Amino acid sequence: MGPYARGWALAMPCWRVLQQGNELIVFRVVSTIGVLIVTASLVVPGFFTGLWQGVADNGAGAGLWRRRRSGPSGRAEASDAGR
């Protein structure tokens, strides 16, 4: 059994427990709110800083993952190692 099959086999009984316990509805609501907050905290700043504009113009991750290295002048320069 592969790792994904094992994970799925473990997730199904856990999901059944969550469905059976009415008091566990609070867990589902709180975890959903938490996921939305974390997602918003990562995505919203990208809109305000223009980070996502570069992604939309150049493709996924373009320019975001370039490593900075010091050039001959001692100043940081963008490298194209990630391309």
pLDDT tens by residue, 35-70 = 999 999 988 887 777 766 666 666 555 455 555 555
Higher-scoring residue by pLDDT: 49, 79: 49
Which residue shows structure tokens 């190692």? 81
Contact present, 65 and 82 (Cβ < 8 Å): yes
Residues 61 and 36 occupy one common structural domain: no
Report pTM. 0.43
- How far is Cα 23 from Cα 29, in angstroms, rounded to an integer? 11
Residues 3 and 40 occupy one common structural domain: yes
Q: Kindly report, residue by residue over 1-47, the tens digit of the pLDDT.
A: 888 899 999 999 988 887 887 787 888 889 999 999 999 998 888 77
CA of 74: how far to CAs of 23, 69, 77, in Å?
Answer: 60, 9, 9
Residues 39 and 58 occupy one common structural domain: no
- How far is Cα 52 from Cα 60, in angstroms, rounded to an integer? 9
pLDDT of res. 6: 92
What percentage of the chain has pLDDT greater than the value 90? 25
pLDDT of res. 36: 96
Q: How many domains does the chain have?
A: 2
CA of 20: how far to CAs of 9, 14, 58, 62, in Å?
Answer: 18, 10, 47, 45
Expressed as residue numbers, the domain containing 40 is: 1-49
